[in-house]
Amino acid sequence: MNSPSDSPILSLRGVYKYFGGIKAVDGFSLDVAPHSITGLIGPNGAGKTTLFNVVSGLYKLDSGEIRFKDERIDDLSLHQTFHKGLCRTFQISRELKLMTVLENLMLVPPNQEGERLWRTWFFPGRVKDQEGEIRERALESLRSTGLFHLRDEYAGSLSGGQKRLLELARTMMAGPELILFDEPGAGVNPSERLTLADRIRRLVSEEGITVLLIGHEMELVMDVCDPIVVMDRGKKLAEGSPEEVRSDPRVLEVYLGGAGS
Amino acid sequence: MGMEIGGILNFLVSFAIMASIYAIFSMGLNVHWGYTGLLNFGIAGFFAVGAYTSALVTSPMPTGVLTNYVKQAFGLNLPFLVGVVAAAMVSGLIAALIGLLTLRLSEGYLAISTIGIAESIRIFFNNESWLANGPQGLIGLPQPLHDLFPPGYYNYVYLVIVLAFLAVIYVALERGIRSPWGRVLRAVREDEVMASADGKNVFLFRLQALILGAMIMGIGGALYAHFSAAIQPSVFEPLFGTFIIWAMLTLGGTGNNKGAILGSFIVWALWSWSTFVILKIVPRGFETRAPFIRYVLIGLLLVIILLRRPKGIIGEERQVSRF
């Protein structure tokens, strides 16, 4: 492995994504340094979520190049990028509503023995052992996110903030190298937001995971992210430390609606 | 008096055989719809394929004077169990082809193509007389262990055979559904994008579920063929072969195999016993039309269930993963 400082874990070069005549992502390039918490901000409709959809493989890009750990991933679909070590969340939290909180988490670990039907028939012992381990891990991540008491509830019955915590627990179960958080703070009350910020920081400091985070609430982004990338109309507008971005006149203009545009 | 009790018992045994065969179909549909959210409106197609496959595999080619009346493409004269296995395989193969063509598209395509394919299969068997004797169908199909028991008692034996299949399918399905495999199916049902984001190959799991459910339906078809010992295309019309099974699963409890079995017994009881009651109350001259009131009854029951108890009598359990 290369030294973490010089080789980006995720690298985008000239990525384009069109919807008809609309250039949602318009020649976007980006390097994400390992063990960083990179923030991606920009006004509504800037193309942030589309960019996530392209990187994670939910959408196919129209042109450009995406490398993850020096390997091209722009041909992979959503479930394949997951197996490369990339885990994403969604802007509007998605959970498996009619499955319990615990089942939502136990689903996540890759390559489970019991995902092959014939093994559940002919090697039930092995499946059972692994299922026990997965349950323990899931319960552990529920304890650390404060959702343990809700383990047997339907995931669909959780509150908005609890769903965000479940999302966080889910990324822990995935054991990824890079997490793409799409607005993890949306619909979360201020005290829960502090917990969330703290947990995201610990993902990086304790488990060595890299985070790329879309944020709408400037506080959360300015608080946890460095560097911050600003996107506007599918293009990169600015990039730098929170201080640099905060004082950049172009950024102020798109956020405060300058007269020039 | 003795005769009467014997008659009632015989009726109950045939009832239990048919209800159990329907329970097998319902469990197959449960794999499709209950766990994976696949809309299969063509159960009758897999029913027909299973029944005809086993019939052709187990019956001998017609000989002597029969050759003037019965045409069939082949007759392998193989044992009953081979017929059942072949029924499952051919049914699964057809499901695989349908799945490869439609499962990558949005879910409506599977629903539409299963309706069309089921009807095409029935009409194919009806028109292509060389294959399985056209509208007259095949009669005198072999019955397993038939010669070992006195004819009056044979249905008891067949009930045991059907119950054995029911039990094995139930246990195998429960094992699969409560395992990580079943958890993935339910995740696909709940939200396919989320299931993909959790690294699951949605297409592959849907395909597996479609094939497995169809194989179970194929087995149900084979069991039906050897019970009635005669099959013709008219058996596999949508009402009798698809609609009633949807009513059974919905009534008993979608996403619950016990519910699938319970619903099958209840609906089949209503279906087969209501005729007697209806025949007593309809005015003279309408007797021949009376059985069609049953369709209304089943439809009414379905509406009441969906309004009052949308999850069925025993719906899906909260904690399904239990291995």
- pLDDT tens across A92-114, in order? 999 999 999 999 999 999 999 99
Nearest chain A Cα distance for residue B48, angstroms:
26
The 10s digit of each residue's pLDDT in A8-47 is 999 999 999 999 989 999 999 999 999 999 999 999 899 9
Averaged pLDDT, A227-248: 94
What strands lie across the sheet with A63-68, from one edge to the other?
A22-32, A10-19, A63-68, A71-72
The 10s digit of each residue's pLDDT in A69-99 is 999 999 999 999 999 999 999 999 999 999 9
What residues in A contact B194, CB-CB < 8 Å?
90, 94-96
| Distance of alpha carbon A157 from alpha carbon A148, whole angstroms | 15
Q: Which of A94, A114, A152 sits opposite B194 (nearest CB)?
A: A94
Q: A94 at the B interface (CB within 8 A)?
A: yes
pLDDT of residue B159: 97
Q: Which of A53, A76, A79, A108 to mutate to test the interface with B (most CBs of B within 10 A)?
A: A79
Beta bridge partners of B76: B60
Domains of chain A: 1-6+15-95+174-261 (3.40.50.300), 96-157 (no CATH)
pLDDT of residue B106: 83
Give me the tens of pLDDT residue by residue for chain B, a chain 323 residues long: 455 888 889 899 999 999 999 999 999 999 999 999 999 999 999 999 999 999 999 999 988 888 888 899 999 999 999 999 999 999 999 999 999 999 988 888 999 999 999 999 999 999 999 999 999 999 999 999 988 888 888 999 999 999 999 999 999 999 999 999 999 999 999 999 999 999 999 999 999 999 999 999 999 999 999 999 999 999 999 888 999 999 999 999 999 999 999 999 999 999 888 877 888 888 887 777 777 788 888 888 888 888 988 899 999 998 898 88
| Distance of alpha carbon B116 from alpha carbon B118, whole angstroms | 6
Helix (H) or strand (E) holding A231: strand A228-232
**Tokens 């890759």 belong to which residue?**
A110
**Tokens 């025949």 belong to which residue?**
B279
pLDDT at residue A257 greater than cutoff 70: no
Q: Please enumerate in sequence order all residues whose Cβ is within 8 A of that of B295, keeping only pairs 6 or more positions apart, or say none.
A: B239
| Distance of alpha carbon B220 from alpha carbon B197, whole angstroms | 36
Q: Poorest-confidence range of A124-138, A241-255, B164-178?
A: A241-255
Q: Which of B181, B316, B320 sits opposite A114 (nearest CB)?
A: B181
**pLDDT > 90 fraction of chain A, expressed in percent and rounded:** 80
| Chain B residues 288-317 with a CB less than 8 Å from chain A | 316
pLDDT of residue B298: 84
| Chain A residues 27-86 with a CB less than 8 Å from chain B | 56, 58, 77-79, 82-83
pLDDT at residue A59 greater than cutoff 90: yes
pLDDT of residue B229: 95
pLDDT of residue B281: 82
| Chain B residues 179-238 with a CB less than 8 Å from chain A | 179-181, 183-184, 186-187, 190-191, 193-202, 208, 212
Q: What is the pTM of this model?
A: 0.94
Are B193 and A82 a contacting pair at CB < 8 A? Answer: no
| Distance of alpha carbon A200 from alpha carbon A161, whole angstroms | 15
Torsion angle, CA of A125/A126/A128/A131, rounded to 10 degrees? 180
| Distance of alpha carbon A55 from alpha carbon A67, whole angstroms | 9
Helix (H) or strand (E) holding A4: none
Q: Please enumerate in sequence order all residues whose Cβ is within 8 A of that of A36, keeping only pairs 6 or more positions apart, or say none.
A: A204, A210, A211, A226, A227
Q: Where does the pLDDT of residue A258 fall: very low under 50, low under 70, confident under 90, or very high at 90 and above?
A: low
Nearest chain B Cα distance for residue A117, angstroms:
6
Averaged pLDDT, A108-127: 96
| Chain A residues 125-154 with a CB less than 8 Å from chain B | 127-128, 131, 134, 152, 154
Alpha carbon A244 to chain centroid distance?
24
pLDDT at residue A5 greater than cutoff 60: no
Are B181 and A96 a contacting pair at CB < 8 A? Answer: no
Are A121 and B194 a contacting pair at CB < 8 A? Answer: no
Averaged pLDDT, A230-234: 95
